[in-house]
Chain A
């Protein structure tokens, strides 16, 4: 914090040029150590945004968990459908946006809910509306990023998807596996064991081991926490190790506040005892919250931008260029190189790349033109 104060002081001094103040302390330094704080200042002004998707069958406690995580009350006007009403329901995508402010930091949180997922009798491809939604956000961002006015691009890409696994079974069900595999290359998937208060500690351990095993066996790429820096202290490394071994997190949520051990806490009151959401020996809620918000929010966003989005973009461009090739019956941009001297080969590759770029640019321009025309109508 003192770096911010230093900056304020400097600005002050800039505004009152004739005042002589003691400069002893800062003399030795050039002063660019304030850079992270200059960036930080800008971000505080602008605020942050984060999009979280929740997926899983009805009744897994998704809404309750979201409310517990962000201390919000997002679902008070919700009407729950009964079984009959659910027969013809398709998977919907519903967005809730809420602005949260804490200690001067503003967060625009978007929760993407997926009611109807896995609720039908026949759940074939019930994840399609969800993957479509994620792709649409990527596409929107791609257009905006390639467009002419990039001043206020809205980032609606999904940064993280919490997937709720029911605690009642013996591990992953086919729908769980298929869903996660459909999404693992588009979004950061964080699997959770829902309603963990119906399991004893040993049952939880068994279930976690089973799920972890199955995740590996089926090749599901869930979100990986980045490796610790080698220069971190031992305590941090130990915490990090515990965190990684705890996945998937077994969570409990609550909308109500109860009295436990002389304190008011979020919890669930049973005749046999009180489950405290924030008690680490009761469930992994605190670990999840720490990961999601306090330590890895930025990394979740980075992985979305640097990996999932870039993959989408590269794929999109390739699809566009191959489509163009088909339309125009031109030579394929990915040639089979015949045996030739290195110079000719390099030249050819360069020429190929140039043509590729040109076609891609043309496609982008066409897209922009379409948007432009669309706007005029």
Chain B
């Protein structure tokens, strides 16, 4: 360690330099929302970002039909707050879980996620690559659990089990205003147990905690998830203030009131404190796992179809060995 002299070098100024650059460039965030229709996904997105960002808000006459196959629809918005610009992309998956036979409904979603990784990889190995590769990778997949109050359904387990290996999953209990506080706590506890029993690692994943500070904060979060949320686009007058809420004959549910529902916690987690971390885990872990698998299996032909084999990631030194990656069927 050097002996620092009388005066001040000024290296902390690099933080300001970085900040300026980040502000100029802006940020990107890609969120996918998955769940049966009618669970309030679009409303929740609009509530989270305080603007009409969902697919339904953009399409002028939203069709309420259930598509025959699962569709993947991306809508991007440029939003700005206090000088920070963000390109938010909401990826909707209408048709998921809505059919009579929902076997393999996770496939198109898995394919979409892997396609984004593939696109990034192709750009990265390009000879003449862009200075800043456009990031379309899915940073976070919000999975909406219906508020049955009992336990997870086989579809929920199947989906989260497969997708948690390739993307950050944030499960939420949708339309939580049908659960009392006791029912809610019981439901959450059951869900947590079932996730554990099925080896499903949702965000924040225990194995990616960087240090003891992170672990402490994330342990607390892990005891609280899944967040029970209520969304709303309507404002009501409550105690002299205008608040977002749902008005019923027995009272008004205030969306941002943590005594009513956990929307605020979800928002804080997702946006105000862990957004960068979510993106980092996507790029430095999920994407890297994909990349290693592709480099290994295609053996020099990056444009070839990957064969249907299970690749052992332990070949690659240093990659988290627990991350057994299942192949997707094309």
In angstroms, how far is the closest chain B Cβ from the Cβ of A263? Answer: 10
Contact: B15 with A30, CB < 8 Å? Answer: no
Contact: B22 with A10, CB < 8 Å? Answer: no
B: interface residue count bin: 35 or more
Contact: B302 with A71, CB < 8 Å? Answer: no
A150 surroundings in chain B (CB, below 8 A): 288
A290 surroundings in chain B (CB, below 8 A): 10
Contact: B14 with A105, CB < 8 Å? Answer: yes
Q: Mark B75-92, 1 if CB is under 8 A from A, else 0.
A: 000010111101000000
Q: Do A38 and B127 contact each other (CB < 8 Å), given the known contacts A44-B15, A148-B292?
A: no
Contact: A43 with B18, CB < 8 Å? Answer: yes
Contact: A39 with B9, CB < 8 Å? Answer: no
Contact: B284 with A14, CB < 8 Å? Answer: no
Q: Mark B17-36, 1 if CB is under 8 A from A, else 0.
A: 11101111001010000000
Q: Do A34 and B272 contact each other (CB < 8 Å), given the known contacts A71-B9, A72-B3, A294-B10?
A: yes
Measured CA separation A74–B2 after assembly (Å)? 8
B295 contacts chain A at the CB level, 8 A cutoff? yes
A15 surroundings in chain B (CB, below 8 A): 217, 220
Contact: A362 with B11, CB < 8 Å? Answer: no
A-B contact count (CB 8 A): 206
B103 surroundings in chain A (CB, below 8 A): none
Measured CA separation A39–B301 after assembly (Å)? 36
Measured CA separation A171–B81 after assembly (Å)? 52
B319 contacts chain A at the CB level, 8 A cutoff? yes
B1 contacts chain A at the CB level, 8 A cutoff? yes
Measured CA separation A146–B259 after assembly (Å)? 50
A229 surroundings in chain B (CB, below 8 A): 24
Contact: B125 with A360, CB < 8 Å? Answer: yes
Contact: A360 with B127, CB < 8 Å? Answer: yes
Contact: B7 with A71, CB < 8 Å? Answer: yes
Contact: B4 with A38, CB < 8 Å? Answer: no
Measured CA separation A306–B128 after assembly (Å)? 11
A32 contacts chain B at the CB level, 8 A cutoff? yes
Measured CA separation A74–B5 after assembly (Å)? 12
Measured CA separation A262–B88 after assembly (Å)? 57
Measured CA separation A297–B259 after assembly (Å)? 48
B-contacting residues, A273-320, CB 8 Å = 278, 289-290, 293-299, 302, 306, 310, 313-314, 317-318
Measured CA separation A328–B226 after assembly (Å)? 58
Q: Do A357 and B125 contact each other (CB < 8 Å), given the known contacts A33-B81, A102-B11?
A: yes
Measured CA separation A195–B44 after assembly (Å)? 65
Contact: B129 with A39, CB < 8 Å? Answer: no
Q: Do A148 and B271 contact each other (CB < 8 Å), given the known contacts A72-B3, A257-B6, A357-B125?
A: no
In angstroms, how far is the closest chain A Cβ from the Cβ of B21? Answer: 6
Measured CA separation A103–B125 after assembly (Å)? 39
A33 contacts which of B1, B82, B276, B319 (Cβ < 8 Å)? B82
Measured CA separation A281–B129 after assembly (Å)? 45
Contact: B265 with A17, CB < 8 Å? Answer: yes
A36 contacts which of B84, B131, B221 (Cβ < 8 Å)? B84
Contact: A105 with B11, CB < 8 Å? Answer: yes
A13 contacts chain B at the CB level, 8 A cutoff? yes
Contact: A30 with B256, CB < 8 Å? Answer: no
B280 surroundings in chain A (CB, below 8 A): 42
A73 surroundings in chain B (CB, below 8 A): 2-3
A72 surroundings in chain B (CB, below 8 A): 2-5
Contact: A289 with B302, CB < 8 Å? Answer: no
A27 contacts chain B at the CB level, 8 A cutoff? yes
B-contacting residues, A333-359, CB 8 Å = 354, 356-358
B-contacting residues, A159-173, CB 8 Å = none
A40 surroundings in chain B (CB, below 8 A): 15, 18-19
A20 contacts chain B at the CB level, 8 A cutoff? yes
A10 contacts which of B84, B268, B296 (Cβ < 8 Å)? B268
Q: Mark A6-36, 1 if CB is under 8 A from B, else 0.
A: 1100110111010010010001011111111
B129 surroundings in chain A (CB, below 8 A): 310
A93 contacts chain B at the CB level, 8 A cutoff? no
In angstroms, how far is the closest chain A Cβ from the Cβ of B7? Answer: 6
Contact: A102 with B10, CB < 8 Å? Answer: yes
B19 surroundings in chain A (CB, below 8 A): 36, 39-40
Contact: B300 with A148, CB < 8 Å? Answer: no
Measured CA separation A318–B127 after assembly (Å)? 8
Contact: B317 with A148, CB < 8 Å? Answer: yes
B258 contacts which of A20, A31, A98, A354 (Cβ < 8 Å)? A20
Q: Do A36 and B23 contact each other (CB < 8 Å), given the known contacts A70-B9, A151-B284?
A: yes
Measured CA separation A362–B221 after assembly (Å)? 44
A-contacting residues, B52-97, CB 8 Å = 79, 81-84, 86
B212 contacts chain A at the CB level, 8 A cutoff? no
Measured CA separation A327–B228 after assembly (Å)? 63
B250 contacts chain A at the CB level, 8 A cutoff? no
A264 contacts chain B at the CB level, 8 A cutoff? yes
Q: Measuring CB to CB, which residues of chain B are less than 8 angstroms from any residue of chain A?
A: 1-15, 17-19, 21-24, 27, 29, 48-50, 79, 81-84, 86, 125-129, 131, 210-211, 217, 220-221, 224, 256, 258-259, 264-265, 267-269, 271-277, 280, 284, 288, 292, 295-296, 298-303, 316-319
Which 7 residue pairs spanning A and B have beta carbons closest together? A71-B5, A38-B276, A149-B318, A298-B17, A33-B82, A362-B300, A31-B272
A-B contact pairs, 24 of them (CB 8 A): A11-B217, A11-B273, A14-B221, A14-B224, A30-B48, A30-B267, A31-B271, A32-B79, A33-B82, A38-B274, A39-B18, A42-B280, A100-B4, A102-B8, A102-B12, A105-B14, A289-B9, A290-B10, A294-B10, A297-B17, A306-B131, A310-B131, A358-B303, A361-B125
Told that A44-B15, A74-B2, A297-B11 touch, could you supply 7 new A-B pairs with CB distance under 8 A?
A14-B273, A32-B84, A35-B27, A99-B1, A105-B15, A151-B288, A356-B127
